[in-house]
Structure 1
Amino acid sequence: MSAPVVEGVAGRHGGDQPVVVIGAGPAGLAAAEHLLDAGVQVVVVDGAPGVGGLSRSVELWGHRFDLGPHSFLSNSHPESVTRWLDLAGAAGGVERTEAVRAAVWRGRVVGFPPSPVDVLRTTGPARTASLVGARVAARVRPQAAPARTAHDALVARHGRAVVEELFVPYCRKYLGVHPRELSSAFADKLQGTRRGWRGPVELLTPREGTGAVWEELARRLRARGARILLGTTVTGLATEGERVTAVQVRDAVSEFAVPARAVVSSVPAPVLLRWLPGTRAPAGPALRSRDTYLVHLLLEGTGNGREVGQSSHYVTAYDEQVRTGRLTNTRAWRPATFRNEPRTVLCAEFWSSGDDDLSARSDHELAELAISELPAFGVDPRVRIVDTDVMRLPRSVPVLTAGVEQARAAVDAQLDRFTNLARVGRHGKHDWDGQEDSLLTGRSIGAHVLAV
């Protein structure tokens, strides 16, 4: 394998070598920025044609759209908010809206969380009494033993009736498993109890799409001397003893090696283990992920093109007979941007394990399925579908199964022996890190790889 000089990377030994960051998503770019602050040369490598990872934006029908809903909350960690607003402001500005969420539940579209009136109308008096009783009992009854699974933790907080009514179908649809198969530590994430999702929530959305934030950060990194190699696939890692010495890559022209002082990776651990000699991926499904299929729909409404009947930021379908998992209304996220736009874009999300009937459907069939289910989400049946676009995002949703802590520990035991290798981000840590988390963890990782 040839090893040409990578433009902008000086030397091949010791401190003259760059730190190579694998992955140009939020965590990888934040790590690159922190390393530059420390005076270290940086090379960022990503197989995609653009930066941002799952937080990138795509060009469709004359506008830029996110890959599903990407929320940044105004009351997130202050350091993250300040940094994010600086980037978003330079990338075209920010729209602020108060989150409006809804759910498809027992064939009805209700507010989320559902009001007492919604519960009564949806389930009837007897079932409402059962749900309320279960929740009250859970609150007054102390938990007998530590929760072993997410199901145990949810039942202890909400009561069995509530869990069976809402959380069980949601988990089966979104994650492909019953909550009994999920880690107890995952319960908070399933409830949406991350900081800020109680009461009114202000959402921050870049006018040019979430990807514009990360494109702005990448522009700043390049201006400071970082090399960002896009459309470049990692094929392996070279090691000497307990150190990674180079990242082997392939672009559209050739294969070559980038010498590395250290490596910061945001790829899934099983992939990283395949690249490293002398390691092996863990057996079993403990570090599994799910795929996301996005169907963007360009609609003309019933009157001026804006009235489609679905005005929430997004609607989540808890009904399992509705195959669409979530429907996002782009206009709700960026009302000023689309105020004078005569058409509306909705995004339908499907979740798949990659070996089910959804994965077997063609793009046309997925689009037809999304269109057929629009009325279930409250979309006016008189809207006209002008165009569709389908995107498939493999391994985009980490599934935190019971035993994931032990599986991660087994992976750590193999990877930690490489003293100049660190992992960041949603995939690198196999967790549900959001953009605000990635900004913090990415910027804090440099100390580890620079200390060795």
Structure 2
Amino acid sequence: MLNARMLNARTLNARMLNARRACSARKRDRRLRGGRGRLAVSLRVAVIGAGPAGATAAYCLAKAGVEVDVYEASGGVGGLARSVGLWGQTVGLGPQHFFSTDPRVNELWLEVIGGDYEMVEPVTRIHPPRAALSTARLGALIRQWQRAQATPPTFAHLRAALPTFAHPGVALSTSRLGARIRQWQRPRTALPAFAHLRAALPTFAHPGAALSTSRLGALIRQWQRPQATLPTFAHLRAALPTFAHPGAALSTSRLGALIRQWQRARTALPAFAHPRQGPGEVYSRMCEFVEKQGGRVHLNTPVARLVLDDGRVTGVQLNNDGVREHDHVVSSMPLAVLTGRLPDVPAEVAAAGAQLTLCNTVVVFLRTNAQSVFPDTWVNVRDPDLHTGRITNFDNWVPAAKHGEPETILALEYWCTSEHDFWRWEDEEYVRFAREELIDTGLVEAGEVLDGVALRVPKSIPVYRESQLQHQAVVEEHLKGLAGLEVIGPHGPFARNRQDFSILMGLLAAENIVEDAGHDLWADPATHAHPATSRITATGLAY
């Protein structure tokens, strides 16, 4: 009990000291500004990281006349949203895309990119798809039933037999399933209803809807035409509850509405705007603007430590060039890394930061001579026999990024920790491994893969654990007490690897420095939501 009381007292004293330091820092900043919202004296600000958040913060600060230095550890800007030039084409690190409904974010994005973008209609799916019951297998099952049964088979028989199939995801077949319905109708005076289907598949919600051969066949054909994979009974089952009148007969118009809803659900993402020169073009232009305004963008320049003076961050120490003094520091480093770059960190804070572990990304680009390899923008892989988690097909993004090259570039993504042997492989091993996995998916033939390139992105994704919020709260408490520091980015207060969120955090951080806006960047993102909505279209911004 005594130890607990002493710990609580220490924590309370630390919080009071941090509050006094923060108040003193705010007063100092106001003197520099000559009042709220005005810069009376030029400020020097360091921005750590040139990803979407850091580049946006630097851009907005430069617009306000602030002297900005951007320190980027890698050799390029954009972070995971960077553009990569390969084999005469421009690609990204997987399906990195931008979409927002926030007018502030959209206006800023269009301000930078202008009209140099195209709209992408994303199509995604999961591999392997739910295995479909083939027409041959269904026909064989029906014939087997017919030989053994005196009465025509029902969906109840189908349900009973499904577990015997190697592929339980039942695909709808027009002719054979229609024939089965007609067979079932003949000995009965009443039309079969979804109640009969519900008896076989109990999760159907609307038992009164009549089942019609021709209408169901038309529905199946509608489903099959626009889809790359066959619809299954699971899709029908999921969509049936949307009927407004449970007892209503099955009609073409109602089923048309049902299928349109299913199609929308299959492509969960709306159309988004994509720069013609890849996702990193926006952030490259932001950094170019910073340099035109007199700022500096230092590539291959990691920050070794942050410099503190009486609870205030006053600059950064570089590996190769001593200490650089700054009035403010904006950090988009992961919290785990940032904690390790601070001097005199309490033991409990250092321990909590060490628990916020990070994962590395390996992207393997494969060049193929196949065209229109598959219709999807990207494919999420859920095959336990494969190690890749996602495959991106850059043929289905922006045509201008291909620069007239005929080959198709695919990107396979892998994730691992620094301790894993996979992280230490040679480039040739990555390419060979990814090629074998791509062929195993059946998306390309063995002879269609020409060559490949591997690209490593260290400490790119947080590893989520149940205790993450607990450890993050300890780190947050310490960082919030440091004046002159703004923490942003996808690994900052909220781990969201989305460009729109990162852009917003960079914008708000700049407002905190220039206007003393007081945005709480540690607060729930919902607190920063704009009351209006907008979206980017092919012709500009629509409200």
Based on CA coordinates, which of the two structures has the bigger radius of gyration? 2
Q: Deviations over 1:316-355 (max 9, x none)?
A: 1111111111110011112354384221100011111233
Separation in 2, partners of 1:67, 1:236: 29
2:107 aligned to which of 82, 94, 99: 82
Deviation at 1:107, TM superposition (A): 8.1
Partner SS for 1:402: coil
Separation in 2, partners of 1:345, 1:211: 17
Separation in 1, partners of 2:270, 2:461: 24
Matches within 5 A, 1:300-319: 300-301=369-370, 306-308=371-373, 310-319=374-383
| Identical amino acids, percent of aligned pairs | 32
Deviation at 1:77, TM superposition (A): 2.1
Larger strand share, 1 or 2: 1
Matched, 1:277 2:343: yes
Deviation at 1:448, TM superposition (A): 3.5
Separation in 1, partners of 2:353, 2:476: 16
Partner of 1:369: 433
Partner of 1:236: 305
1:34 aligned to which of 49, 55, 60: 60
Does structure 2 retain, via aligned residues, the 8 Å contact 1:419–1:449?
no
2:318 aligned to which of 228, 243, 249: 249
Deviation at 1:396, TM superposition (A): 1.1
Query: Kindly tell me: are residues 278 and 199 of structure 1, through their superposed partners in 2, closer, same or farther at Cα, counting changes over 3 Å?
Result: closer
Query: Kindly tell me: are residues 198 and 368 of structure 1, through their superposed partners in 2, closer, same or farther at Cα, counting changes over 3 Å?
Result: closer
Deviates more, 1:77-86 or 1:232-241: 77-86
Deviation at 1:371, TM superposition (A): 0.9
Q: Deviations over 1:58-99 (max 9, x none)?
A: 2211222211111223x5323322322332336xx2121211
Q: Which amino acid aligns with 2:120?
A: T
Separation in 2, partners of 1:19, 1:134: 59
Partner of 1:405: 469
Partner of 1:266: 332
Partner SS for 1:311: coil
Q: Which amino acid aligns with 1:77?
A: D
Partner of 1:123: 168
Query: Kindly tell me: are residues 100 and 122 of structure 1, through their superposed partners in 2, closer, same or farther at Cα, counting changes over 3 Å?
Result: farther
Separation in 2, partners of 1:47, 1:97: 31
Matched, 1:438 2:516: no
Matches within 5 A, 1:155-304: 199=268, 201-250=270-319, 254-279=320-345, 280-283=349-352, 286-301=355-370
Larger helix share, 1 or 2: 2
Matches within 5 A, 1:68-147: 68-73=94-99, 76-89=101-114, 93-105=116-128, 123-124=168-169
Does structure 2 retain, via aligned residues, the 8 Å contact 1:21–1:28?
yes
Does structure 2 retain, via aligned residues, the 8 Å contact 1:107–1:376?
no
Separation in 2, partners of 1:294, 1:108: 28
RMSD: 3.2
Partner of 1:50: 76
Query: Kindly tell me: are residues 367 and 199 of structure 1, through their superposed partners in 2, closer, same or farther at Cα, counting changes over 3 Å?
Result: closer
Partner of 2:10: none
Deviation at 1:37, TM superposition (A): 3.9
Separation in 1, partners of 2:404, 2:485: 49
Partner of 1:181: none
Partner of 1:148: none
Does structure 2 retain, via aligned residues, the 8 Å contact 1:17–1:259?
no
Separation in 2, partners of 1:416, 1:199: 37
Give the TM-score, by structure 2 length. Answer: 0.60
Separation in 2, partners of 1:423, 1:134: 48
Query: Kindly tell me: are residues 89 and 197 of structure 1, through their superposed partners in 2, closer, same or farther at Cα, counting changes over 3 Å?
Result: farther
Q: Which amino acid aligns with 1:381?
A: E
Does structure 1 retain, via aligned residues, the 8 Å contact 2:359–2:460?
yes
Query: Kindly tell me: are residues 369 and 239 of structure 1, through their superposed partners in 2, closer, same or farther at Cα, counting changes over 3 Å?
Result: same
Deviation at 1:431, TM superposition (A): 0.3
Q: Which amino acid aligns with 2:506?
A: G
Separation in 1, partners of 2:467, 2:126: 30
Q: Which amino acid aligns with 1:96?
A: M
Matches within 5 A, 1:391-402: 391-402=455-466
Separation in 1, partners of 2:337, 2:122: 36
Give the TM-score, by structure 1 length. Answer: 0.72
1:347 aligned to which of 411, 414, 418: 411
The gaps in structure 1 that reach 5 residues or longer are 1-12, 110-118, 137-161, 163-195
Deviation at 1:397, TM superposition (A): 1.3
Deviation at 1:444, TM superposition (A): 0.5
Partner SS for 2:419: coil
Deviation at 1:370, TM superposition (A): 1.1
Separation in 2, partners of 1:300, 1:37: 45
Q: Which amino acid aligns with 1:201?
A: P
Deviation at 1:122, TM superposition (A): 5.0
Separation in 2, partners of 1:448, 1:307: 48
Partner SS for 1:425: coil
Partner of 2:152: none
Q: Which amino acid aligns with 1:82?
A: E
Q: Deviations over 1:200-222 (max 9, x none)?
A: 62032211111111111111222
Separation in 1, partners of 2:266, 2:315: 43
Query: Kindly tell me: are residues 346 and 247 of structure 1, through their superposed partners in 2, closer, same or farther at Cα, counting changes over 3 Å?
Result: same
